[in-house]
């Protein structure tokens, strides 16, 4: 996961300069004046000699003389079994903005005369604006088909033709990424280049077999310590103070990994994943709790996700535990003696016997009203009177649907108000709600509070505040904290992982950060495929597994400016708002980490560039760690 990519991170300032450069859009788009110097796009052999290719990466379709509209650069466009790559003309260096992994592509579509209308609209709108200010008295030549309405809007006169019938139409391909990029490529007419690239993307983004994915052809098994079970056990050994022991597959196979200290032990009761399919094969539980009691306690928690230890303080013995909501029933009167005993054992004896047992906080990540609403489905929250020396606290963090809608609004804001929007177009061209030549130019001062209205920063603040509160209880009060939400794999993972990061400096190193993600996100069953729209495996066991990509096009709604006809995207089943399970939970957690990194840069071994690389790896599925659900 932390492997270095072959390409360097994009330099945002240099990229911005390229986007804002003085190059002429008209020159880039005037294809019919260019000589055809290269053949049309074509399929190529798997041994195409490009220095930019990764191990086992094969070129499937090649197109020359393509222009990246975002930056006005001409070059070669390649479709491989892993990426869509744009190479600069002559040097064949990778242009990062125009290069995107196939798994990161959310939608791609064909367009005609797209940017000619854009530039015509902007040019005429700017001239009308200057006339209104009295700064230009000349006639707006070339803009006779547009006129001002007097209220700041510019409308198009449909009677005036835009192009001569002899002018060849321009060919464009728009690629929308899950990383908020919108890339537009321009093709020469009458060369069938766009068709070849489009069909190549159509084939490669919808592979029919699991083994066609690049992650299964890059021989990741050659890396040392490649088994996630071994890495998880090594982390457990470190938490129990047994860091001198090293896990191995032999240890896992013969079950000799069930070590313990004076308070906690590693249980193999879930080694076959029958008790809880979404929990890891090994769990840290109180030493005084037997495996039979562990199984009984799992029956009282949603999805069988019983309270288990995520982190323990090496000096005070306080623990940070996680679970799902209890099943208290419609009358909120259901109880489990085994569950109460297990939770009580999290409050181990303090070092001084005179001080008694430590306090337990039960941190429910949900708003109180949401927890009460879950009672209708048998869920709910704990009553402090049923759990020894406990206090229940509600954090009020919204659910996955609120986070999805918040990201959609944030994306709208960035596209409209960013210095350079996600498609590379300067915000001056898009300010005021103008929608790709089909809308109008409204007041540029409108919607300046859209960033706040998105709610994204408020959500990030809620997660940060909740995690800081948890860490403070463990570090300052030597109290134990049990964290849960509804199912215990979204908000719970955010809070627990972030509190781990605050409490343990090891998790702020490269190796520790990887261990943290593998423990609290991957091993504890965060549904990456469902939340991100990753490739998922379907089919019965008697035939090779097929691959179906869950679409996130419907989950992160695109602004009207991003929608076009003739698009290709993975099919999205019709579903209600509640059934849409896509949500940027992991992205939001990475944002929280980046906020901490900005405040305490010297507390981390890595920088924000590493977080960008990590997100690229998550979206690209290059290593396969984030393919599956639970």
Strand partners, 78: 62, 85
Residue 486 assigned ligand-binding role: yes
Burial string for 43-73 (b: 16+ CB within 10 Å, else e) reads eeeeeeebebbeeebebbbbbbbbbbbbbbb
- Asked if 76 contacts 94 with a C-beta cutoff of 8 angstroms, the reply is no
Q: DSSP 3-state assignment of 537?
A: strand
Q: How far apart are CA 416 and CA 448, in angstroms?
A: 10
Angle (nearest 5°) at CA 364 between 630 and 531:
30
H or E segment and range at residue 311: strand 308-312
Q: How far apart are CA 459 and CA 537, in angstroms?
A: 32
Q: How far apart are CA 282 and CA 256, in angstroms?
A: 12
Give me the catalytic one of 485, 592, 617, 621: 485
Beta strand segments in 365-469, E: 390-394
Residue 204 assigned ligand-binding role: no
Q: DSSP 3-state assignment of 27?
A: helix
Residue 488 assigned ligand-binding role: yes
Count Cβ atoms within 10 A of the Cβ of residue 89 and give its class: 0-12 exposed, 13-18 middle, 19 or more buried: middle
Residue 485 assigned ligand-binding role: yes
Strand partners, 42: 62
Beta strand segments in 201-258, E: none
Q: DSSP 3-state assignment of 384?
A: helix
Residue 211 assigned ligand-binding role: no
Residue 532 assigned ligand-binding role: no
251's tokens: 């240890």
| Phi, psi dihedral angles at 381 (to 5 degrees) | -140, 170
| Phi, psi dihedral angles at 28 (to 5 degrees) | -70, -30
| Phi, psi dihedral angles at 52 (to 5 degrees) | -80, -10
Any alpha helices (H) in 24-68, and if so which ranges? 25-29
187's tokens: 């093709």
Q: How far apart are CA 616 and CA 226, in angstroms?
A: 20
Residue 490 assigned ligand-binding role: yes
Nearest partner of 586 among 537, 542, 540, 525, judged by Cα: 525
- Asked if 237 contacts 243 with a C-beta cutoff of 8 angstroms, the reply is yes
How many Cβ atoms from other residues are within 10 Å of residue 206's Cβ? 16
- Asked if 109 contacts 22 with a C-beta cutoff of 8 angstroms, the reply is no
Question: Residue 473: which region, alpha, beta or left (left: phi > 0; alpha: psi -120 to 50)?
Answer: alpha
- Please give the DSSP secondary-structure letter assigned to residue 33: G
User: Is 485 considered catalytic here?
Assistant: yes
Residue 489 assigned ligand-binding role: yes
Q: How far apart are CA 527 and CA 583, in angstroms?
A: 10
Nearest partner of 17 among 439, 490, 420, judged by Cα: 420
377's tokens: 């489905």
Residue 374 assigned ligand-binding role: no
Residue numbering of the annotated binding site for substrate? 399-400, 485-491
Residues acting as catalytic residues:
485
């Amino acid at each position: 996961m932390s492997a270095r990519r072959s390409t360097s991170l994009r330099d945002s300032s240099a990229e911005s300069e390229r986007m804002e450069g003085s190059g002429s859009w008209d020159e880039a788009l005037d294809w019919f004046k260019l000589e055809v110097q290269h053949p049309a796009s074509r399929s190529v052999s798997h041994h195409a000699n490009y220095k930019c290719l990764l191990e086992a990466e094969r070129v499937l379709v090649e197109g020359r003389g393509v222009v990246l509209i975002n930056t006005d650069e001409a070059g070669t466009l390649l479709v491989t079994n892993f990426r869509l790559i744009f190479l600069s003309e002559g040097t064949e260096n990778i242009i990062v903005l125009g290069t995107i992994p196939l798994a990161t592509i959310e939608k791609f579509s064909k367009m005609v005369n797209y940017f000619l209308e854009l530039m015509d609209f902007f040019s005429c709108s700017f001239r009308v604006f200057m006339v209104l200010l009295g700064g230009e008295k000349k006639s707006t030549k070339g803009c006779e088909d547009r006129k001002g309405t007097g209220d700041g809007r510019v409308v198009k006169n449909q009677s005036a033709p835009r192009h001569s019938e002899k002018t060849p139409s321009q060919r464009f391909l728009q690629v929308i990424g899950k990383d908020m990029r919108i890339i537009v490529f321009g093709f020469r007419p009458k060369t069938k280049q766009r068709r070849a690239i489009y069909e190549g993307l159509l084939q490669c983004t919808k592979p029919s077999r699991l083994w066609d994915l690049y992650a299964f052809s890059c021989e990741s098994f050659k890396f040392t310590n490649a088994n996630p079970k071994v890495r998880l056990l090594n982390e457990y050994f470190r938490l129990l103070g047994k860091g001198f022991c090293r896990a191995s597959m032999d240890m896992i196979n013969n079950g000799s990994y069930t070590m313990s200290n004076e308070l906690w032990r590693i249980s193999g009761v879930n080694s076959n994943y029958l008790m809880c399919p979404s929990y890891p094969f090994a769990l840290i539980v109180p030493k005084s709790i037997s495996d039979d009691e562990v199984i009984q306690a799992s029956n009282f928690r949603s999805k069988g996700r019983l309270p288990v230890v995520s982190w323990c303080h090496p000096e005070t013995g306080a623990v940070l535990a996680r679970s799902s909501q209890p099943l208290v029933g419609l009358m909120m009167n259901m109880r489990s003696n085994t569950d109460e005993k297990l939770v009580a054992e999290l409050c181990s004896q303090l070092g001084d016997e005179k001080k008694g047992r430590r306090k337990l906080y039960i941190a429910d990540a949900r708003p109180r009203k949401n927890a009460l609403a879950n009672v209708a489905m048998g869920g709910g929250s704990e009553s402090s009177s049923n759990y020894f020396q406990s206090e229940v606290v509600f954090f009020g963090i919204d659910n996955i649907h609120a986070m999805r809608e918040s990201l959609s609004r944030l994306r709208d804001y960035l596209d409209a108000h960013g210095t350079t929007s996600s498609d590379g177009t300067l915000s001056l061209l898009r300010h005021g709600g103008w929608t790709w030549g089909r809308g109008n130019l409204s007041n540029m001062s409108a919607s300046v509070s859209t960033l706040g209205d998105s709610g994204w920063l408020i959500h990030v603040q809620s997660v940060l505040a909740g995690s800081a509160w948890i860490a403070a209880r463990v570090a300052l009060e030597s109290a134990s904290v049990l964290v849960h939400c509804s199912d215990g794999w979204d908000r719970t993972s955010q809070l627990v992982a972030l509190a781990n990061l605050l409490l343990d400096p090891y998790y702020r190193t490269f190796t520790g950060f990887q261990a943290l993600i593998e423990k609290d996100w991957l091993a504890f069953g965060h549904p990456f495929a469902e939340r991100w729209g990753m490739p998922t495996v379907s089919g019965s066991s008697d035939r090779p597994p097929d691959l179906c990509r869950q679409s996130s096009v419907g989950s992160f709604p695109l602004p009207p400016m991003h929608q076009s006809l003739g698009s290709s995207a993975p099919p999205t089943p019709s579903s209600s708002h509640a059934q849409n399970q896509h949500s940027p939970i992991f992205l939001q957690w990475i944002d929280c980490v980046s906020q901490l990194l900005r405040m305490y840069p010297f507390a981390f071994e890595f920088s924000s560039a590493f977080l960008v690389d990590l997100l690229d790896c998550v979206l690209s599925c290059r290593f396969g760690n984030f393919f599956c659900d639970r």
